[in-house]
A and B are shown apart, each in its own frame.
Chain A
Amino acid sequence: MQTVKMVITGPFSAGKTEFIRSISEIDVVSTEREITTPAEKKQKDATTVAMDFGRITVDDDLVLYLFGTPGQRRFDFMWEILAEGMLGFVVMVDSAKPETFREAKSILETFRAYAPTPYVVAANKQDHPDAWSAEDLRIALRIEEGVKLLPCVAKDKESVKNVLLELLYSILEEMES
């Protein structure tokens, strides 16, 4: 059986776990732990400390694994391990939190350095009233024109499907070029 792997990365609280949860056929195998820092606890109760793991079975011969990385820098030793052998990656950005844009760009650059695989940027939480538009995010994050920056709502399955499909189209385009 062939397995292929995609990585979902991004800063703390960008919506990576939610993204995988929306599309995975299995309950996400999560290494979430309760947050102990009061400041972070205000944003959410639990965070990923090692990885999230989701699965999409195509047929008996082919399975897609989705790996979500931990968002905090103190767990970044996991990033390179998770990046090994990935087919492509998604960088999730919380569109309503400009304080995380710089970190998102830094994570993007780190993953680009790990492997020259195709990637897309998902402008998550587009349903939030304070969300920056995808066009504004492209300029704010200095994302090149050729890179797909997609509006996304991680809790909406159709939106997640669109992001994954666009990543797969990019992978296909690169294979054909």
Chain B
Amino acid sequence: MPLKGELRDFSTTQLLNLINLAGKTGTLTIFQAKKTGIMEEVNGKKRERIEVGPEKAKVSFKTGKLIFAAMNGQEGNLVAVLNKAGKLTDDQARIIRERAKNTNDKALALLLINANYVSQNDVITSVQQYILDVVYSLMSWAEEPFRFDDDILPEKDRIQVPIDLENVIIEGSRRIKEIEELNQHLPNLDMALRFPENAKEKFKGVHLSVEEWRVVSFINPKYSIRQIAKANNMSEIEIRRVVYGLEQAGLVELVKPPGMVDPNAANRARKPAAKPQPQVQKVVVSRLIDKIRSI
């Protein structure tokens, strides 16, 4: 079953996180959002309904790693990629396009490497950069419909470069500008942070910025995010951006610090205190189990 949704409900960052954690193989297609002018109510809020428009971008993954990306309307073949990366001049690119019209990317890469036009490293880094540019730009999209199809991969003749998603998620989150979105994801700076269970493994090969390391060095369930920001002389927006990136990449988890007052407590205090939980004996639960089994 394909995963379907809209980026306004489930962002690109969240999707990449899901694909990474689930180790998925398949292709994510993002479509243009076609406005309908029809209002709908979602979770008590009115918003305009959107429909699936033409394809905008395709990104492919193999066992949770990014391997391919293409943007509609952009020439994404190897010649264009190498030309954009400055590895081929405009003239070289034009000549190769004319002479190698029917050659696929993999075969063309071999020809260019054997002819000493470019090195293997040039090909890999240029393709990698192109894939990342596509993914970073679509991480700023905020409403488009999407679909993830399991096990659908790009044609075999396309060059695929595996890229770990953790770094992509962190870098993409660094680029998120929308303060509102950050506030929504991390509304309470009085929460604390802790490392996940297999932290050592998760941090392996991850490239953190100086700001991220500064935050990581303070991680302790005793310190609130606000305290970490203060210790590092960071603004609320800066700390939110850093924590959001780390959290989305699965490198940290949010926890309540000891003694934290529940933000809803004041609201609930106005109401009569909840009655104590009923003292139910094990035998009662066992009888309920037997009954439901027999229905």
Taking a contact as CB atoms under 8 Å apart, the answer to whether A164 and B274 are in contact is no
When the two chains form their complex, are residues A42 and B40 in contact, meaning their CB atoms are under 8 A apart?
yes
| A102 located at the interface, meaning its Cβ lies under 8 Å from any Cβ of chain B in the complex | yes
A84 to B22, alpha carbons, bound, how many Å? 37
Give the distance in Å from the alpha carbon of A172 to the alpha carbon of B3 in the complex. 35
Partner of B1, one of A12, A86, A98, A131: A131
The proximity string for B residues 166-179 relative to A, scoring 1 for CB distances below 8 Å and 0 otherwise, is 00000000000000
Do A4 and B280 touch (CB < 8 A)? yes
Residues on B facing A (Cβ under 8 Å): 1-6, 8-10, 14, 17-18, 21-22, 39-44, 46, 262, 264, 268, 271, 274-275, 277-278, 280, 282, 284-293, 295
Q: B288, A100: Cβ atoms under 8 Å?
A: no
- Say if the beta carbon of A83 comes within 8 Å of chain B: yes
Given A102-B9, A139-B18: A62 touches B288 (CB 8 Å cut-off): yes
A130 touches B9 (CB 8 A): no
A56 contacts the other chain (CB 8 A)? yes
Q: Which residues of chain A are within 8 angstroms of B5 by Cβ–Cβ distance?
A: 98-99
Q: For the complex, is A121 an interface residue (Cβ under 8 Å from B)?
A: no
- In the complex, are the beta carbons of A85 and B278 less than 8 A apart? yes
- In angstroms, Cα B4 to Cα A131, docked, is 8
**Chain A residue with Cβ nearest B18:** A139
State the majority secondary structure of interface residues on A.
helix
CB neighbors of B among A131-172 (8 A): 131-133, 135-136, 139-140, 157, 161, 164-165, 168-169, 171-172
Shortest beta-carbon distance from B54 to chain A in Å: 20
* Nearest A-chain residue to B43, judged by Cβ: A103
B295 touches A157 (CB 8 A): yes
A129 & B1 in contact (Cβ 8 Å cutoff): yes
Contacting pair A168 B14 (CB below 8 A): no
B285 close to A168 (CB less than 8 A): yes
Contact B274 A114 (CB under 8 A): yes
The tally of residues in A whose CB lies under 8 Å from a CB in B reads 54
- Inter-chain contacts of A58 with B (CB < 8 A): 287-288, 290-291
* Contact partner, A73, options B18, B43, B262, B292, Cβ 8 Å: B43
A residues contacting B by CB (< 8 A) are 2, 4, 11-12, 23, 37, 39-40, 42, 56, 58-59, 62, 64, 72-74, 80, 83-87, 98-103, 110, 113-117, 129-133, 135-136, 139-140, 157, 161, 164-165, 168-169, 171-172, 175-176
Q: Which residues of B contact A157 (CB under 8 A)?
A: 295
Whether B4 and A130, one on each chain, are in contact in the complex, defined by CB atoms closer than 8 angstroms, is yes
B284 with A84: CB separation less than 8 A: no
Cross-interface CB contact of B43 among A2, A102, A139, cutoff 8 Å: A102
Is there an interface contact between B288 and A64, defined as CB atoms closer than 8 Å?
Answer: yes
Ranked nearest first, the 5 interchain pairs of A and B with the lowest CB-CB distance are A98-B5, A39-B41, A99-B9, A103-B43, A58-B291
Docked complex Cα distance between A73 and B40 (Å): 16
Pair A87/B275 contact, Cβ less than 8 Å: no
Contact B285 A99 (CB under 8 A): no
Q: Is the CB of B278 within 8 A of A4?
A: yes
CB distance from A123 to the nearest CB of B (A): 12
**Contact A80:B274 (CB < 8 A) given known A39-B46, A101-B9:** yes
Q: Judge whether B6 and A99 touch: CB under 8 Å.
A: yes
A12-B44, A58-B290, A62-B287 given; name 17 further pairs at CB < 8 Å: A58-B288, A84-B275, A85-B275, A87-B280, A102-B9, A113-B262, A113-B264, A115-B274, A115-B277, A130-B2, A130-B4, A136-B18, A139-B22, A157-B295, A161-B292, A168-B285, A168-B292
